[in-house]
Each structure stands twice: as structure tokens, then as C-alpha cells.
Amino acid sequence: MTRIFPEARDYKTVNLRISPAQRKTIEEIVGYGLLPGQQDQFQYFEMNDQKGQVIGTIIPSTQKGEFGAVEFVFGMNTDLVITDLYIQRARERDQSFKDRSFLDLFVGRSIREKMGFDQLYTGDPTPGTTAVITGLVKEMVAFETLVLADANLEAGS
């Protein structure tokens, strides 16, 4: 995680329960059902600096590839802009989704741009590139639904 936020000195693991209504919302927005193991819990990590202030968020993601799971990790700063992402594990034959040129298409992009991520890559789609793009969108939709919506409700009360 410090690979994405080298200035981080600590982190807090956050596990949120996904209610049936929240799951339905997420699935309607992304356009497909969540995988088993992703249907009732969402995990992310708050990255903290030496003063304990949150400097960003790390979200791990797992998506189906052609030959198994594609696991990757991405970080967003406090403005909800992707700071970096990397592939943690995958067994795909085509490795183009691991290329920096592909991954960098998403660095610097805001959570508000997520529904256009599929338009950023103009190469031939592979199971790996599709897994990364759909995974980013899914995790950002889940983050908005579970974290930001909840924070907005608390701020309004």
C-alpha cells in the first residue's frame, strides 16, 4: 500500500456490510451481478500520514479473467482521483493489461469520470483489460454507494 502512498505511516482497515438494497443499487449501476464474496462486504484502507490525517484510500479489487482471478490495487487521493494502480496477481495469457501505458490511462482520473473508463482504452479488449476496467468502475461505484453516500447522510444530520 505504501507503493501507492509512500508518505503513509499507518493505515486503517475498513470493512463495510453491503445491504441487499445497496447491492441492488451497485449492480444496477455497473450492469452486472457482484461476484460471490463481494456481495455482502466491501473493504478498503484509509492511508494516514505521520499526524494521523487521512491522505488517501486504497481499494483492492478482484475480477474474473479468462484463466482465473485478476487482482489489482488502486489508490485515490482525498479528492477521489486515482493516484496509481498495479496488478497484484493474474494468470492471463495476454499481459497487455499489466503495461504501464494501459494502467496510466486511469491515473489522474476522478471518481466522477468512472462511467467513461471503458472509452479510455482503444486497443483490442482482452479478459485482462476488461477485468481492470470493470473492476475499477465496480469498486468506485461501491465506494460512492457505501462510503460517500453514508458520509453525505452524516454531514446532513
pLDDT tens-digit series, residues 37-84: 899 999 999 999 999 999 999 999 999 999 999 999 999 999 999 999
Percent of the chain with pLDDT over 70: 95
Burial of 140 (0-12, 13-18, 19+ CB in 10 A): buried
Single pTM value for the model: 0.92
Q: Cβ(55)–Cβ(48) under 8 Å? A: yes
3-class DSSP state of 66: coil
Sorted by where each starts, the structural domains of the chain and their CATH numbers stand as: 10-150 (3.30.390.50)
